[in-house]
Amino acid sequence: MEPATLRPAAELHVHLRGAMPPAYFAQLLERHPPARALAQAPERHLAFFRRWPHLAGFLAPDAPAGADLFGFSTFPGFLASYLLSGYFVRTPADFRGLLDAVATDFVAQGLRYAEVTVSVPEYLMQGIPLEAVCEALSEASRRPDIRLRWIVDLVRNFGHDAALDLLRRLLARPPAGWVGVTLGGSEAEFPPGPFRESFELARAHGLGLTVHAGEAAGPESVWEALRELRVDRIGHGVRAVEDPRLVEHLAERGIPLEVCLTGNVKTGVFPSLAAHSLPQLDAAGVAFTLNTDDPTFFATTLAGEFEAARSLGISEQALGDALANVERFAFDRDACRIRFSPLRLC
């Protein structure tokens, strides 16, 4: 099978704001100058932003339009950039525009199905009503040119009580296309165990369960997600190789990893692509999908992730399996309806 015959058209791990086209972010900067957008930011967030030199331009009195959002090299630095970007999505119109810009970009790349992670608490923090968020998500899920499904990130940094409250509010009036929940944010500071009640409630309502683990934190975070939250998939999980017993467990149970190669390098999880653990995980029989995570922040595409995997020596058979795994592990298989052949995934 020639490499060019594999045409990935779906993914399971991509963050909404992480996929924001740069041109749309430029519009938001014009609409909401940094000095105004950050005027009401809590001091703890401003202090976090000040730790990172690449964000200094946004904090200056006359912040330049070309301030560097993407100059991070560590996971905390990336989180700072990502959190800061949320301050510029301030109105329901901004949020609807973000959804439209991202969906249009996906379609241009050839994507036909995407499970998009939406960090709802961060938009509520900017004053966008939950009802407006849900209405916009419902509308975007009905686009005829791409099947968009939503994974709500409860954002571990806000704590379990806030997560449970948000989940209950969403379940009372769920947006169309909502298929799952996850936990993003600071893995090392906020382990998954305390969120057990939220995940049990989500499971009881038929939602798919995934969690970011084994990325910034080690294999113990994956074990905790499996034991305490009983998740269906693991977001990242690439540090599982630090525990051979965990690798064996993942392979035996068929628990898939949502692998994001470029992002793992850009955030310093691995010092280089050549050092990535995917070849070891693949050799051990661990199921995986390939994903972009935050493609704008990491300057990647889904096709680029497959090329990165090839450069690691991942076989065309394994890449074909990764394509098929999207349908196998999607939280809405009926909407996904992926038909894989040697020529196309659509």
- Cβ 69 vs Cβ 84: under 8 Å: yes
Q: Where are the beta strands (DSSP E) in the chain?
A: 10-15, 113-118, 147-153, 178-182, 208-213, 233-236, 257-259, 288-290
Q: Which member of 122, 187, 215, 258 is catalytic?
A: 215
Question: What CA–CA distance (Å, rounded) separates 190 from 142?
Answer: 34
Question: What CA–CA distance (Å, rounded) separates 263 from 197?
Answer: 30
Question: What CA–CA distance (Å, rounded) separates 63 from 170?
Answer: 36
Question: What CA–CA distance (Å, rounded) separates 174 from 172?
Answer: 6
Please give the helix or strand (H or E) that residue 193 lies within, else none.
none
Question: Which one-letter amino acid corresponds to residue 341?
Answer: S
Q: What angle do CA 179, 182, 186 make, to 5 degrees?
A: 160
Classify 70 as helix, strand or coil: coil
Burial (Cβ within 10 Å: 0-12, 13-18, ≥19) of residue 19: buried
Classify 246 as helix, strand or coil: helix
Annotated active-site residue 139? The verdict is: no
Helix axes 196-204, 160-172, angle to 10 degrees: 20
Question: What CA–CA distance (Å, rounded) separates 184 from 342?
Answer: 35
Strand 178-182 vs strand 208-213: parallel, antiparallel, or unpaired? Answer: parallel
Which positions are catalytic? 215
